[in-house]
Amino acid sequence: MKWMSKTALLVAALGFTQATLAESVKFETTLGNFTVELNSEKAPISVANFIRYVEDGSYVGTQFHRVIPGFMAQGGGFDKDMLKKSNYGPIKNEGNNGLGNDVATIAMARTNNPDSATRQFYINLNDNGFLNASQRPPGYAVFGKVTQGFDVIQNMATKKTKALPNGMRDIPIEPIIITKATLIK
């Protein structure tokens, strides 16, 4: 009960709505649907941030722009034309929350700056313990797991990819677009 009040205070302080505490998000994509269960108890900042992008509708029309077989599928940051989407400010890294980068978990993508995560996320295709705070401090913040439709994520890794002249690689040739993101309470 104590953590709940702290989470509620954090959510209120950050200006998020009660919908921020939703349990799951269902994604519909051009490749199929999947559902992510969120862990607001262990990753309240990451969950609140993620839900903010779901609520404002800005994940719709973005693509999974980096898919590496045996590693992960990353999305949420670029539209179908690979134009970068605007974002809210970066959040504090919760990589030390005890949740591991295990198969089917979702985590915040970031730069080398630990507190740089904004809107991009990735879903682990394998156990990627080397991304955990215990092996690579400060780690990458896991904030949930795929509970339905993981086969859709696995299918992403079978698609041919390309590189762009700007150095971006592992981009599916046929864009995998998020067409809808729905909060499930």
Say what the pTM is: 0.88
pLDDT digits (tens, 9 = 90+) for 41-94: 999 999 999 999 999 999 999 999 999 999 999 999 999 999 999 999 999 999
Q: Which band of pLDDT confidence, cut at 50, 70 and 90, is reported for residue 14?
A: low
Tokens of 35: 């559902």
Average pLDDT value for residue range 154-161: 98
Tokens of 15: 């200006």
Q: Which band of pLDDT confidence, cut at 50, 70 and 90, is reported for residue 185?
A: confident
